[in-house]
Amino acid sequence: MTETTTTTGPKPEQSKKLTRRQKQAGRIIDATSMGWKLILFKIVVLGLLCATAVYASLVLFMNERWLVGSLVVVGAAALTWIYLQRGALPAKYLAPGLVFLLIFQIFVVLYSGYVAFTNYGTGHNSTKEHAVHAIMLQTQDRVPDSATYQVSILEESGDLLSTDELYFAVTSAEGEVYIGAEEAPLELTDEATVEDGRVVAVEGYEILPFAELLNRQQEITNLVVPMSEDPNAGYLRTQDGQRAYVYTSRYEYNEAQGTMTNSETGTVYADTGEGAFISEEGEKLLPGWRIQVGMDNFIRAVTEDSIRGPLIYVTIWTFAFALLSVVTTFVLGLFLAVVFNDKRMKSRKYYRLVMILPYAFPGFLSALVWAGMMNQEFGFINNVLFGGAAIPWLTDPWLAKISILIVNLWLGFPYMFLVCTGALQSIPEELTEAAQVDGARPFQAFRSIKLPLLLTALAPLLISAFAFNFNNFNLVYMLTGGGPRDVSAGVNVGSTDILISMVYKVAFVGSQADYGLASAFSILIFIIVGTISVLAFRKTKALEELN
C-alpha cells in the first residue's frame, strides 16, 4: 500500500497522472481493505483453527503428551500471528504448505533418522516397563491339571474402618470356602453362604457386584492371592472376575537390580544395556525394549557379511537400473516428441493422445499386466509374438533385468515425451531455419542447436527422473518381487532387487522386522541420491552458463 493511493478518491489533477496499472492496484487495494466478507472469513477460519488447537492440546496435555501438545499450541499461535498481522505476504502464502511439509516430510525424515540409531524392530518394540509387564504376563503358567475356582470378589464391610483391599472367596471341589488377599494366603472360613458353587455372602465382607468389578478391573486382574504360605504352591489370579486359576510364575523380577530370575533354574537375566534381559550364557529373554544403539546399524549395514555381499551387488544394479531407465525413456520420448512435433505429420493430436495412455494407467496395474504377459508358458509375448517360444522373461537373472527395463520404458516414455514436446515447442523455429540457411543438415541442426537448448531445460527433470527410478519400488515389487533368486547364494535378495526393495525386505518381510537397520539403509539411500542430485545440478548450471 503506497501513500499516493487513497480510498477517499484522488483529486482530479492527480488522477490524470496515475497510470492504468496504478489505478488497477488502487482498485484491488480498495477491494481488499473494504472486503468485510474476507475479514469475517479470516476470523472464522482462524477461530476454528484456534478452537481445534485448544481442544487438541487440552486432550494431549491430559494424556501427558507434553511435546506434541506444546507443538500444537506453538503452531497454532504462529499461524494466528502470521495471518493477523499486516504484510508478511510471503509467510501468508507459504504457511499452509510449510505445515504440510513439516508434518508429512520433515517429521518422517527426522523420525527415520532417529529410528536408524535405535534397535527398533521385532522384539524391541516399546519401553523397558512394557517389556517387563509383557514378560510377567506371558510367563504365568497355569499349574497343570489344577482346578477352576468359582471366585467372588469381596471387600470388608463397614463404612469407617474398612480399607479398599480386595479379597478372593473361592469354593473348592469339596464345597469348602476359602478367603484370601494379596498379603493373606487362602484360609478356610465357615461364615460363607454358597449358591451354585459360588460364594454369595460372607460375614463381615461385602461382595462386589459385576458393575463394580468392571470399575475396578485393573485392581482385580492384578490381584494375586497366594495358595498357602509356601510360595511354590502358586497363586490364584482371575482374568474375568468369575473364574480363578492357580498359576506359578516362570520369572521373578527384581526391580532394584533390574534382573529377571528364572524361578525353576535360578538363571539370572540381567539388563546389560543391549535392550533385553540377557543371561550369562547369552540367552536372551524376549520381548526386549527399544534403546539407542548409536552407529551400530550403519556399521552392520557395511560390515555384516550376509548384508554386505548383496549390498554391493544391489547398489550396482540400482545405479544401472536408474541410469538406463532415464536414458532409454528419454531417448524414446525425445524421438517421439521430435517426430510428432513435425508439422508435416497428420493428425498429430490423436497420436499424441495415444502416446500418453501408458502414463494414464496406474503404474502398479501395468506392472501386473506385464507380469502376466511375460509368463513363460501362457504369456501373450511368448505365445503370440514369439509363436510359442519358452523365453524365461522373468525367471532368468539377465532377462529379468532386461524385462524390467522394457516395462519401465513403457511406463516412463510418455512422461519424457510430454516434457520434450513442451520444451521443443518453446524453442523458436527461427533458430532451426537460420541453421538450415547456413547449410546445416536437419540432424546437425537438431544436434547442435535444439538438443543443447532442450537439455538445459530438461536437465532438472532428468535428475529427478533418476532419483525417482532409484527408488522405483512399485515396479520391482509388482513385476518380479525382486526375483529371480539365486538359491545357492543363501540370501533373500534377488537379481532385480534394488536398494529400496531390499530395505523393504529387511523391514517388513517375514516376521523379523528390523526397522533400525532399514532406516539406516534409507538414510544411506538418501545420502546417495542427495549427493548425485547436488552434483548433477551443479553440472547443469555449468551447462547453462555455456549457453
State the Cα–Cα distance between residues 480 and 523, nearest whole angstrom.
25
Q: Are 202 and 169 in contact (CB under 8 A)?
A: yes
State in angstroms the smallest separation of the CB of 349 from another protein: 38
Comparing CB distances to another protein, the nearer of 262 and 375 is 375
State in angstroms the smallest separation of the CB of 399 from another protein: 12
| Number of residues in the chain | 547
Sort 277 into a burial class: Cβ within 10 Å, 0-12 / 13-18 / 19+: buried
State in angstroms the smallest separation of the CB of 67 from another protein: 13
Comparing CB distances to another protein, the nearer of 397 and 451 is 397
Comparing CB distances to another protein, the nearer of 271 and 458 is 271
Q: Are 289 and 128 in contact (CB under 8 A)?
A: yes
State in angstroms the smallest separation of the CB of 11 from another protein: 14
State the Cα–Cα distance between residues 123 and 287, nearest whole angstrom.
5
Residue corresponding to grid cell 515447442: 425
Residues 6 or more apart whose CB falls under 8 angstroms from that of 139 comprise: 249, 250, 251
State in angstroms the smallest separation of the CB of 427 from another protein: 46
Question: Which cell goes with 270?
Answer: 540381567
State the Cα–Cα distance between residues 521 and 414, nearest whole angstrom.
31
Beta bridge partners of 153: 168
Comparing CB distances to another protein, the nearer of 325 and 496 is 496
Comparing CB distances to another protein, the nearer of 187 and 219 is 219
State in angstroms the smallest separation of the CB of 125 from another protein: 4
State in angstroms the smallest separation of the CB of 410 from another protein: 20
State the Cα–Cα distance between residues 298 and 312, nearest whole angstrom.
14
Comparing CB distances to another protein, the nearer of 8 and 265 is 8
State the Cα–Cα distance between residues 152 and 189, nearest whole angstrom.
14
Alpha-carbon distance values, 282 to 267, 269, 381 (Å): 11, 9, 55
Comparing CB distances to another protein, the nearer of 64 and 229 is 64
